[in-house]
Amino acid sequence: MTRRNHLPGQLDDVIEEAGEGTAADLPPHAEAAVKLDRPLITLFIMAATIMQALDSTIANVALPQMQGTLSATQDQMGWVLTSYIIAAAIMIPLTGWLAGRFGRKKVFLISIVGFTVTSALCGVSTSLPEIVLFRLLQGISGAALVPLSQAVLFDINPPENHGKAMAMWGIGVTLGPVLGPMLGGWLTQDYSWRWVFFINVPIGIIAFFGLTATMPETKKILSKFDFFGFASLSLCIGALQLFLDRGSINDWFSSTEVIVEAMTACVGLYYFLAHSFTYPQPFLSPSLFADRNFVMANVFIFLVGVVLFATLALIPPMLQNLMNYPVIFSGLVTAPRGLGTMIGMLVVGRLIGRFDARAIMAVGLSLTAFSLWQMTNFDLLMGASPIVVSGIIQGFGVGLVYVPLSTVAFGTLPPALRNEGTSFFNLQRNLGSAIGISVVETLLTRNTQIMHSKLAEHITPYMQNSPAVLADRVHLSSAAGIAALNGMITDQATMIAYLDDYKLMMLMTLAVIPLLLLLRAPVKTGKQELAVME
């Protein structure tokens, strides 16, 4: 029984060799070593996590400027986002196997190098094919950063500190998408769209050298790679992402391309499931799905992805297109949402060991639903305060859900499955965001058309008091007046469609609260939190 070959911070391996179950049982020198390295590891881990999380939204606001520089159409520019999303989605499930086979530290450092280099290449791109290729490589490189950062924070912290560790991790994961549009708008307007990518370079360099010096390596697991399982799952995920991204552009199943993508996704899923149930060592370990808490937590993180990212996708265009907010100001108005999330996660990090995690998540989901109800009362003449207030409340609610959800998901999962578990957990969050964004944007387009027709059919020259109402704003006797009236109707119809989307997400959030009863209640035993059957 020796510990001298372990790097400082390898908590799980020390515990495993010592044959003991809690961090509290470690010898004083081992626990001190972990404490000395933990803050630095966390700092550099969070730098890499925020860097990757920012890129999920920071490039969106720069697309118009990129389009002019690269001489591309709007439809072609969509591939700048799609290539990154598809590559990241396909590579996330592979993260667990790579970390087990080659070591978590090695995979993490290679991912940082790849993400940093490809970010710089995106910034110097001079044509559309170049930037699409580099964004594809950027998605491949960065896919491992978020799930492995979660696994690292679990392993370097004793069980009683998992809640605080997940609070730090959650801040990075959720703040990135929130702050991305504001930071991207500022860089694009005051400098150049290229700085949207160049900003990753110094962060990546600092994170790489910091983790090289502080991050411990994990034991390697020599396991056979299930190529067919990975290929079929990749086919399913890639086709699904294309289906969701291209469907709204091509009017869904009226397009042959979209039909082929949907069928390909179904075929890939069928072969993946059939193979997984019959192959001795499938790509995703069946043991993951034997843990009820892990399975239910994935259902909830899917919903969090839908609500968080769909809301982030709806608010900026609503502010910019309907209320004529500048890009930077719309980012400033939505930024307090991130502040609410940060406060929620810091608060819940202290509450997680004192109260039932399910009760905390119920409060968080209720606050999220309440904020969405507030958003159903938005109107075209409101100021910025309703957006700020509802954003802070929603961010606080999401923060209350995210931390205990992550803790419950992995609290009963064996450490050997954490690499795979965190990969699948983050895959569900990404799929939730992709499906949520696709659904709300499709409903927005269709409901706008429906409401426009319903409103327009009530506008006639013979309406009671209509001349008095409209005389100061439009002249119905001219073509310009008719166009102005149509614009007014379109704005009102679009606003109603936004409100319908917010109402849908509110109902979804309320509907999922009873599912918290399916989670096993965490009970404290010593310094550990265990999940036991009620």
Q: CA 267, CA 261: separation in Å to the nearest integer?
A: 10
Mean pLDDT of 513-520: 82
Q: Shortest CA distance to 352 belongs to which of 299, 397, 300, 407?
A: 407
Q: What is the pLDDT of residue 522?
A: 52
Angstrom CA distances, 64 to 73, 87, 189, 315, 323, stand at: 10, 23, 11, 18, 19
Same domain, residue pair 496 and 404: yes
Same domain, residue pair 426 and 513: yes
Report yes or no on 3 lying in a domain. no
Same domain, residue pair 377 and 507: yes
Report yes or no on 38 lying in a domain. yes
Mean pLDDT of 297-320: 80
Residues 6 or more apart in contact with residue 289 via CB below 8 angstroms: 295
Full-prediction pTM beyond 0.95?
Answer: no
Higher pLDDT, 460 or 518: 518
| The total number of structural domains that make up the chain | 3
Mean pLDDT of 353-370: 87
Q: What is the pLDDT of residue 478?
A: 65
Q: Both tokens of residue 69?
A: 């520089």
State which residues form the domain around 73: 8-226
pLDDT surpasses 80 at 270 = yes
Q: What is the dihedral of CA 326, 331, 336, 342, to 10 degrees?
A: 180
- Above pLDDT 70, what percent of the chain? 83
- For the domain that residue 378 is a member of, what is the CATH number? 1.20.1250.20
Residues 6 or more apart in contact with residue 310 via CB below 8 angstroms: 433, 436, 437, 439, 440, 501, 505
Same domain, residue pair 212 and 232: no
The answer to whether 196 touches 187, Cβ cutoff 8 Å, is: yes
Same domain, residue pair 176 and 238: no
Q: Rg for the chain (alpha carbons), in Å?
A: 25
Mean pLDDT of 359-372: 91
Q: What is the pLDDT of residue 402?
A: 79
